[in-house]
Amino acid sequence: MSSFLHGYHVRANGVRLHLLRYGGQGPRMLLLPGITSPAVTWGFVAGRLARHFDVHVLDFRGRGLSSSAPGMDASLDAMAADVLDLMEVQGWSSVTLLGHSMGARVAIRAAARDAGRIGRLLLVDPPVSGPGRRAYPVPLPWYVDSIRMAVHGITADALRPYAPSWTDEQLQLRAEWLHTCSEEAVIQAHAGFHDDDIHADLAKLQTPGLLMTAGQGGVVLAEDLAEIGALAPCLQQCTVPGAGHMIPWDDEEGFHRVLGAYLKVDLP
């Protein structure tokens, strides 16, 4: 039986934000996806988490069914403000933020700016690029080219070279929804990977949480973990050894096993 309840919209920080809700029982969790991952593509994760949490999955501005318009500010600051105002408008407190990749950077910045409504951070393989640091390993054309293909209409099989380890269902969802990712918003976010100093935010964190990294992703390296450990000792660190950057897609069982161990719940 599906744990999906409904989709809904919230006006926050001057834009319309769309979310999907799963479960509806237990502590509240807000899931923040990556740079080209509309909320619906995280349903396979949200459905399992919904056995223990009231899970809400966000479409970031410029993605999915949230507001998208030419010239829209889709910066890290704007997205973090969206998250903070969303929790304010909804009257939420003690929220667990689970962010992957770009979403993890948004969670970090939001918690550094105002952690009042955030109870716990679950950060999954955040890009650690920034001013004066090595570049994010996935080049911008990888995203832009696939978005342009999706805008014209693309099949799951045509996307398989971009994500060879994904299931047919996951590729079908990406083929269906990738066109909703604004190229302009993605370009801004990718530039932000290199321009925004996330390490300064990490040094401000006091919210407890987990930093999960991919053993095969090449995004967070051993030296990065040592630096983050010194900057943010409030974050417990763990690695999913065989997974690439898209950890739940590359090793779904490993992702849920490690996450469940930290949360002290069974995520079968």
Kind of pairing between the strands at 95-100 and 28-32: parallel
pLDDT at 209: 98
Give the number of other Cβ atoms within 10 Å of residue 24's Cβ. 15
Per domain, the residue ranges of the chain are 4-263
CA-based radius of gyration for the chain: 17
pLDDT at 65: 98
CATH of 4-263, one of 1.10.443.10, 3.20.20.70, 3.40.50.970, 3.40.50.1820: 3.40.50.1820
Query: What is d(CA 164, CA 222) in angstroms, rounded to the nearest whole number?
Result: 26
Q: What's the order of all strands across the beta sheet hosting 28-32?
A: 4-12, 15-22, 54-59, 28-32, 95-100, 118-124, 209-214, 235-240
pLDDT at 50: 97
Query: What is d(CA 186, CA 180) in angstroms, rounded to the nearest whole number?
Result: 11
Divide the 268 residues of the chain into consecutive groups of 10 and give the mean pLDDT of each group: 95 98 97 98 97 98 98 98 98 98 98 98 98 97 95 94 91 97 98 98 98 96 97 98 95 96 93
pLDDT at 268: 78
pLDDT at 162: 85
Report whether 212 contacts 122 (CB < 8 A): yes
pLDDT at 122: 98
**Which pTM value belongs to this model?**
0.98
Task: Report which secondary-structure segment, H or E, holds 196.
Answer: none
| Cα-based distances in Å from 170 to 44, 129, 140, 155, 249 | 9, 27, 22, 12, 8
Length of the chain counted residue by residue: 268
pLDDT at 196: 98
pLDDT at 77: 98
Task: Report which secondary-structure segment, H or E, holds 239.
Answer: strand 235-240
Give the number of other Cβ atoms within 10 Å of residue 181's Cβ. 27
